[in-house]
Chains A and B, each alone.
Chain A
Amino acid sequence: MIVGSSLRELRQRRRSVTATKKITRAMELIASSRIVKAQAAARAAMPYTLELTKAVSMLASAYDLDHPLLVEAEKPRRSALLVITSDRGLAGAYSANVLKLGEQVRTYLEEEEGQEVDLFITGQKGLAYHEFRGREVAASWTGFSESPSARDAKTVADELVKRFLTPTEEGGVDEIHIVSTRFESMLKQTPRATRLLPLVVVDDDGKQEAPASANGDEPLFYEFEPDARTVLDALLPLFVSNRIHTALLQAGASELASRQQAMKSATDNAQQLIEQLTRQANQARQAEITQEITEIVGGASALSESA
């Protein structure tokens, strides 16, 4: 029991903790309802990703094309680093984790590979983090971290592809890396770093194969309109945009899952605190009553003795 804390103070603290609990509880519920939507959006976007990946890997592997988005720079000198963070806080260690990995990747690129790094940020949290440290941010986008649309992804992709296609001497970049959070499950979200450009188009098993027909004997010979090169030209920016969209969707779901968990433990903590404060308040009340009785009895006996 806190010595000297009066009954009034204890009650006041309990009231304030109760109010906090209401807020965290509400945020927990909001996060858990939104996460269902975020997961549905990620699921709904899957067919597009699958079909696009299929078409691009078919084109890139079956036809030996030296598209600029596929060609590796001999000695990369400048990289763009896209860090995907949240717009709002109160999501536990979500933003801290992804920013920490971003720092590691940046240090690695700068010190191990001797590259310059241009920072690109999505999400208010990441922006504030870097601005506070006085770092230069090449471009940033905010306002869609919880539910990114395909159009948001396209805006980001257009800017990055533009930088990539600009010659290094004129301020372009040779590589693009993404640091974002992958949604593994409701309980587990891991920050990950991947290289976005130059693209490595491989199947999940890591092999590059000529497209085979379903029965697996003969590769299919596609007819292209207008021609393979032009089709690839048009598809690759879509592919990049799609990769970014997928990363944003995963990050959005992760953010909500982290927030839900953080708010759940905050609610639980508040509940514990309320119970503790209630007990203390009751004790203080008992003590006050006991004191009063003692005083009355003491006063009465003093009177009867003097009489």
Chain B
Amino acid sequence: MDRDPLKVQVVSAEKVVWSGEAVQLIARTVEGDIGILPGHEPLLALLVPSRVEIVTADGRQEALFVDGGFISVAEGRVSVLAQEARMGQEISARDAQAELDGLTLKHQNGEATEEEQHRMHLLKAQLAAAEKAAR
């Protein structure tokens, strides 16, 4: 690839969670998965609670969790913004799994509130990010 790598930053409401150069970034928008390569046209898209995958310029894989938010791409700069964003390796998969199991049980009995169902989505996304980071 002869294009310059993407300048990526993943920002939560409280701090910059990750920033660096990347050759590829995969995120999940409300319409489906999207892959961003260097030279992507300007884009502003809403994200669902999901895992964001980044292939850095030196070939490492990074996985992050976002609770929604949006991605903006313009002129080789990619910003992923979410109220909450965390590195995959900072998430405790065991805690998330335990909480998810509890909620799933509730959900199967049809007792889960809307909020709890949203929480389940968040937990699944956290798990996905944690698993990917552990690999």
Residues of A within 8 A of B (CB): 41, 44-45, 47-48, 51-52, 54-55, 58-59, 149-150, 153-154, 213-214, 220-226, 230-231, 234-235, 238, 241-242, 245
Stretch from B52-60, B69-77, B93-101, B120-128 forming part of the interface with A: B69-77
Whether the pair A245, B46 counts as a contact (CB closer than 8 A) is no
Out of B34, B46, B74, name the residue touching A231 (CB < 8 Å): B46
- The interface size of chain B toward A, counting residues with CB under 8 Å, comes to 26
Q: Check A225 against B45 for contact (C-beta < 8 Å).
A: yes
Residues of chain B in range 26-47 having any CB-CB distance to chain A below 8 Å: 29-31, 34, 41-46
Nearest-CB distance from A196 to chain B (Å)? Answer: 17
Cβ-defined contact, B46 with A225, below 8 A: yes
Identify which of residues 1-27 in chain B touch chain A, using a CB-to-CB cut-off of 8 Å: 9, 11-16
Among candidates A45, A225, A241, residue contacting B30 with C-beta atoms closer than 8 Å: A225
In the assembled complex, how far is the CB of residue A151 from the closest CB belonging to chain B, in whole angstroms? 8
How many Å lie between the Cα of A226 and that of B14 in the bound state?
27
Contact A222 B43 (CB under 8 A): yes
Main secondary structure of the interface of A (DSSP, over half): helix
Q: Does B113 contact A (CB under 8 A)?
A: no
B41 with A223: CB separation less than 8 A: yes
Contacting pair B14 A45 (CB below 8 A)? yes
Q: How far is the CB of A52 from chain B (nearest CB, A)?
A: 6
Say yes or no: A51 contacts B79, CB within 8 Å: yes
Instruction: Quote the shortest CB–CB distance from B27 to chain A (angstroms).
Output: 10
A214 lies within 8 A of B44 (CB)? no
Is B87's CB within 8 Å of the partner chain A? no
State in angstroms the CA–CA spacing of A48 and B11 once bound together.
Answer: 6
Q: Looking at A48, A52, A149, A242, which has the most chain B CB atoms within 10 Å of its CB? A: A48
The reply on B81 being an interface residue by CB < 8 A is yes
Contact of A44 among B14, B29, B46 (CB under 8 A): B14
Q: Is A231 in contact with B83, judged by CB distance below 8 angstroms?
A: no
A214 near B13 (CB under 8 angstroms)? Answer: no
In the bound complex, how far is the Cα of B42 from the Cα of A30, in angstroms? 47
Write out the residue numbers on chain A whose beta carbons fall within 8 Å of the beta carbon of B116. none
B75 surroundings in chain A (CB, below 8 A): 213-214, 220
Distance to closest chain A CB from B64 (angstroms): 15
A-B contact pairs, 23 of them (CB 8 A): A44-B16, A48-B11, A48-B14, A51-B9, A51-B72, A51-B79, A54-B72, A55-B72, A55-B81, A149-B14, A154-B83, A214-B75, A223-B41, A223-B43, A223-B44, A223-B45, A224-B44, A224-B45, A225-B34, A230-B46, A238-B81, A241-B13, A242-B13
Contact B70 A231 (CB under 8 A): yes
**A55-B70 contact, Cβ under 8 Å, with A48-B81, A150-B84:** yes
Neighbour of B74 across the interface among A52, A220, A234, A245, CB < 8 A: A220
CA distance A59 to B45 in the complex (A): 12
Contact A225 B44 (CB under 8 A): yes
> In the docked arrangement, what's the CA distance between A225 and B27, Å?
12
